[in-house]
Structure 1
Amino acid sequence: MKKLAAIDIGTNSIKLLVASVEEDGFLEIVSREKETIRLGSDTLASGRLSEEAIEAGVEAVQTLARIARAAEAEIVGVVATCAVREASNGDEFVEAVATRAGVAVEVISGEEEARLINLAARSEFPAELDPLLMIDVGGGSTEFVVSRGSRVLLTESVPMGVVRLAQRFGRNDPPSEDDLRDMKKAVRAVARRAAQAVRKTGFRTCVGSSGTIQSLSMVHEAAVQGREPVRSGHRILTRRGLKSVNRLLRRTTLKEKLKIAGLDPRRRDIAVAGGLLLAWILKRTGADEILVGERGLREGVLLDYILRHGEKRVADRDLRARSVDRLLRRSNADTAHAVEVSRLALDLFDQTHALHQLAGAEREWLRYGALLHDVGCSVGYAKHQRHSAYLISHADLTGFSAQEIEVLAAVARYHQGSLPKSSDETWQRLDPSYQRPVVEKLVALLRIADGLDQTHRQVATSLACRVRSRRLELEISARADCEAELTAARKRANLFRKVFGRKVLLRAVPVGRSEAVRQKSLEIVPVDALWR
Structure 2
Amino acid sequence: MTEHIAIVDLGSNSARLIVMHIYHNGAYNLVYNQKESVRLSEGMEQDNQLQEAAIGRAIHTLKVFAHMCQLHKVDRIIATATAAVRNASNGQAFVAKVRELTGIPLEIISGKKEAKIGSIAVTNTIDIKDALLFDLGGGSTELTLVRNNQVAELVSLPFGAITLSEKFQTQDKVTDEIIANLNNYILDKLLAIPWLSKLNLPLVGIGGTARNIAKMDQRRKNYPFPKLHNYRMGMVSLDSLWESLIKTNLSQRRKIPGLSSDRADIILAGMNVVKALFEVSAGEQFIISGCGLREGLFMHYYLTRQQQADVLPDILMHSTRNMLLFYKGNTIHAYHVSHLAMTLFDGWQKLHQLTLRERTLLKAAAFLHDIGITINYYDHARHSAYLVENARLFGLTHREQMLISAVTGWHHGVSTKSMRRIYYEFLDEADWSIARKLALILALAESLDQTEMSVIQGVTVKLTPTQAELKFEAYDNAVIEQQAIKKHQKWFRKEMKLPLIITEA
**Scaled by the length of structure 1, what TM-score is found?**
0.84
Which whole-Å CA distance do the structure 2 matches of 1:6 and 1:333 have between them? 28
Which whole-Å CA distance do the structure 2 matches of 1:120 and 1:150 have between them? 11
1:396 partner SS:
coil
Contact kept, 8 Å, 1:6 with 1:18, in 2: the verdict is yes
CA 1:102–1:288 in 2, change beyond 3 Å: closer, same or farther?
same
Which whole-Å CA distance do the structure 2 matches of 1:416 and 1:20 have between them? 33
Equivalent residue, structure 1, for 2:334: 338
Query: 1:129-278, aligned counterparts within 5 Å?
Result: 129-147=128-146, 151-171=150-170, 173-194=172-193, 196-198=194-196, 206-230=203-227, 234-278=230-274
Which whole-Å CA distance do the structure 1 matches of 2:112 and 2:25 have between them? 29
| 1:136 positional shift | 0.7
| 1:387 positional shift | 0.6
CA 1:14–1:344 in 2, change beyond 3 Å: closer, same or farther?
same
Structure 1 alignment gaps of length 5 or more: 511-532
- Taking only the aligned residue pairs, the percentage that are identical comes to 28
Q: 1:350 aligns with which of 330, 346, 351?
A: 346
1:313 equivalent in alignment to 2:308: yes
The Cα offsets for residues 256-279 of structure 1, whole Å up to 9 and x where unpaired, read as: 334433222221222233223213
Which whole-Å CA distance do the structure 2 matches of 1:495 and 1:209 have between them? 45
Which whole-Å CA distance do the structure 1 matches of 2:93 and 2:369 have between them? 56
Who wins on radius of gyration, i.e. which is larger?
Answer: 1
**Partner letter of residue 250 of structure 1?**
I
2:463 partner SS:
strand
| 1:373 positional shift | 1.0
1:296 equivalent in alignment to 2:292: yes
Structure 2 alignment gaps of length 5 or more: none
1:77 equivalent in alignment to 2:75: no
Equivalent residue, structure 1, for 2:50: 49
Equivalent residue, structure 1, for 2:114: 113
Equivalent residue, structure 2, for 1:103: 104
1:197 partner SS:
coil
1:41 partner SS:
coil
2:308 partner SS:
helix
| 1:369 positional shift | 0.5
CA 1:255–1:225 in 2, change beyond 3 Å: closer, same or farther?
same
The Cα offsets for residues 19-75 of structure 1, whole Å up to 9 and x where unpaired, read as: 223457765322221220112221145523222112122222222122122212145
Count of aligned pairs between the two proteins: 501
CA 1:435–1:271 in 2, change beyond 3 Å: closer, same or farther?
farther
Residues 356-365 or 421-430, more deviating: 421-430
1:370 equivalent in alignment to 2:371: no
**Partner letter of residue 152 of structure 2?**
L
Query: 1:5-24, aligned counterparts within 5 Å?
Result: 5-22=6-23
Equivalent residue, structure 2, for 1:476: 471
**Partner letter of residue 406 of structure 2?**
A
Cα RMSD (Å) of the superposition? 3.0
Contact kept, 8 Å, 1:47 with 1:87, in 2: the verdict is yes
| 1:475 positional shift | 2.6
Equivalent residue, structure 2, for 1:466: 463
Q: 2:386 aligns with which of 387, 390, 404?
A: 390
| 1:148 positional shift | 5.1
Contact kept, 8 Å, 1:131 with 1:204, in 2: the verdict is yes
CA 1:343–1:191 in 2, change beyond 3 Å: closer, same or farther?
same
CA 1:68–1:279 in 2, change beyond 3 Å: closer, same or farther?
same
**Partner letter of residue 10 of structure 2?**
I
Which whole-Å CA distance do the structure 1 matches of 2:489 and 2:8 have between them? 54
Which whole-Å CA distance do the structure 2 matches of 1:99 and 1:414 have between them? 56
